[in-house]
Chain A
Amino acid sequence: MALSMMESNNRLIYNDAGQGPVQHQFSPYTDNGGSIVAIGGPGFAIIASDTRLTSGFAIYTREQGKLHSLTNAAVLGASGCWCDVLSLTRLIQARMKLYKHEHQKDMSAAALAQMLSTMLYGRRFFPYYVSNVIAGLDEEGNGVVYSYDPVGHCDKNMYHAGGSSGALLQPLLDSQIGLKNMAIKPTAPLTVEKALQITKDVFTSAAERDIKCGDGVIIRIITKDGIREETFKLRFD
């Protein structure tokens, strides 16, 4: 329409000459990407995120991890609308302090999982646009993974892939960790080394196909001895 002209009442109307203000529509949400993988096993849990923060085709920064250590036995991975991630994680930190002062102990992974669910549902009609995954240790010291939808539906799993590469990664975890569709299943229990290797492999795969995933991976390994961190490079184009 930019160059077309319309004639009415013998007056030329140029459609490209401002016939009124151009309206911007304000959207409170944006997708800043980010992918999370969490795996629980006997005596350990690992959770990993990529380190790329994006906006559309732009890369804001290549060094923004999306893991938030909550306690010595639980780490939250959160990605999606980054401003909601920031607000939600701060609120969680505050709620955890209140809990600690009231009960004289850290929140358990199960308590955190329930709290996050109610916090998300509290914003049911203006949701936090965040994909959350909590990895931690249960009362017996074994790995657990809790995954959420943006409005607080909570699911307890042994493994989960969330965020922008969730669809690419989840079937891989089904196959490699969940041992789905296998005629002969390995009997040995999952080890930290194996879980780490799979995590690195799946992120490398996702970085090939998901433009919002790349630059690097931060992995946190949760055991009864505390939380250990590893980093791993991804393609950064």
Chain B
Amino acid sequence: MSILAYNGGAVVGMKGNGCVAIASDKRFGIQLQTIGLDFDKIFEVGPKIYMGIPGLATDTQTVNQRMKFRTNLYELKENRPVSPKVLSAMISNLLYEHRFGPYFVEPIVVGLDGNNEPYISTFDSIGCVSEPEDFVAAGTCDDQLFGMCEALWKPNMNPDELFEAVSQALVNACDRDAISGWGAKVYVIEKDKVTIRNLRTRMD
């Protein structure tokens, strides 16, 4: 099995009207054995910027720490916060620096930019960026997530609709993947608040 699927897990992000959402499962496992049920794959980069890093768990944490280092340095040097677009460029750079010995992760970025416009992006493990206008999905059940998102996503959803769509997409997708699930965490980001909800899911 692919090293990307060693620990299992999935992340999904969606654009709404003046809001974005990101959600992930909470499982940490070693192949088919489940070890933990509170493993974070989504990290806060700024007040309105989050990144989700599914893949090999050790690289999830390493990439997060390396990005923390780089974003801190950026903010000290530039004396301004990173925007989602800048964060995407930085992740892409970090990943491509390891072109021939990559981190086994497929990160996604969601956030609101300086004008509070929704932004999402997704990467492969060596830093190829894509900035779609609807949704992003990555992880061991990305096929399932794409199928769900393709049907549930519609333009200009309000925060409540967005929460419902992203949650249903994630939970139903994870239920058809043996190595994702065991709880889920959903972030809905609006211009003046971030709502974090923990979902109860099937625990098998």
Is this pair of chains taken from one and the same complex?
yes
Binding site for B on A (CB under 8 A): 165, 167-172, 174-175, 180-181, 201-202, 205-206, 208-209
Main DSSP-derived SS at the A contact region: helix
Q: Which residues of B contact A168 (CB under 8 A)?
A: 143-144, 146-147, 150
B173 at the interface (CB under 8 A from A): yes
* Interface contact B172-A172, CB-CB below 8 Å: yes
Q: In the complex, are the beta carbons of A167 and B176 less than 8 A apart?
A: yes
Check A171–B150 contact: CB distance below 8 A. no
Count of chain B residues with Cβ under 8 Å from any Cβ of A? Answer: 15
Residues of A within 8 A of B143 (CB): 167-168
Interface residue? B94 (CB, 8 A): no
Binding site for A on B (CB under 8 A): 141, 143-144, 146-148, 150-151, 168, 171-173, 175-176, 201
Q: Find chain A residues with CB under 8 A from B172 CB.
A: 171-172, 174-175, 180-181
CB within 8 Å for A167 and B151 given contacts A174-B175, A181-B172:
no
Bound CA span A202–B146, Å: 11
The answer to whether B147 and A165 have CB atoms under 8 Å apart is: yes
A172-B171 CB under 8 A given contacts A167-B143, A167-B176:
no
Contact B148 A175 (CB under 8 A): yes
User: Cβ of B175 and Cβ of A171 under 8 Å apart?
Assistant: yes
Measured between beta carbons, the chain A residues less than 8 angstroms from B173 are: 171
Q: Are the C-beta atoms of B147 and A209 separated by less than 8 Å?
A: yes
Closest A residue, CB atoms, query B171: A181
A206 touches B175 (CB 8 A): no
Give A209 to B151 CA distance when docked, in angstroms: 11
- Residue on B with the closest CB to A208? B150
Q: How far is the CA of A201 from the CA of B141 in the complex (A)?
A: 21
Please indicate the chain B residues that have their CB under 8 angstroms from the CB of A202 in the complex: 147, 151
Q: How far is the CA of A168 from the CA of B149 in the complex (A)?
A: 10
Q: Evaluate contact between B144 and A170: CB separation under 8 angstroms.
A: yes
Pick 25 A–B contacts, CB within 8 A, sort by A: A167-B143, A167-B144, A167-B147, A168-B147, A169-B147, A170-B144, A171-B144, A171-B172, A172-B151, A172-B172, A175-B148, A175-B168, A175-B172, A181-B168, A181-B171, A181-B175, A181-B201, A201-B151, A202-B151, A205-B147, A205-B150, A205-B151, A206-B147, A206-B150, A209-B150
Return B92 CB to nearest CB of chain A, in Å: 23
What CA separation (Å) do A48 and B142 show in the bound complex? 24
Residues of B close to A171: CB separation below 8 A: 144, 147-148, 172-173, 175-176
Assembly CA distance A181 to B179 (angstroms):
18
Q: How far is the CB of A194 from chain B (nearest CB, A)?
A: 15
Contact check: which of B146, B168, B201 meets A209 at CB < 8 Å? B146
Given contacts A167-B143, A171-B147, A172-B172, 10 further A-B contacts (CB under 8 A): A168-B144, A168-B146, A168-B150, A170-B144, A171-B144, A171-B173, A171-B175, A171-B176, A174-B172, A206-B150
Report the bound CA distance from A4 to B151 in whole Å: 52
Inter-chain CA distance A167–B147, complex, in Å, is 8
Cα distance, A172 to B173, chains bound together (Å): 8
| Most chain B beta-carbon contacts within 10 A, residue among A168, A205, A209 | A168
Chain B nearest CB from A24 CB (Å) reads: 27
The 7 A-B pairs with the shortest beta carbon distances in the complex, nearest first, are A168-B147, A205-B150, A167-B143, A171-B172, A205-B151, A175-B172, A171-B144
Can you name the residue of chain A whose Cβ is closest to the Cβ of B145? A171
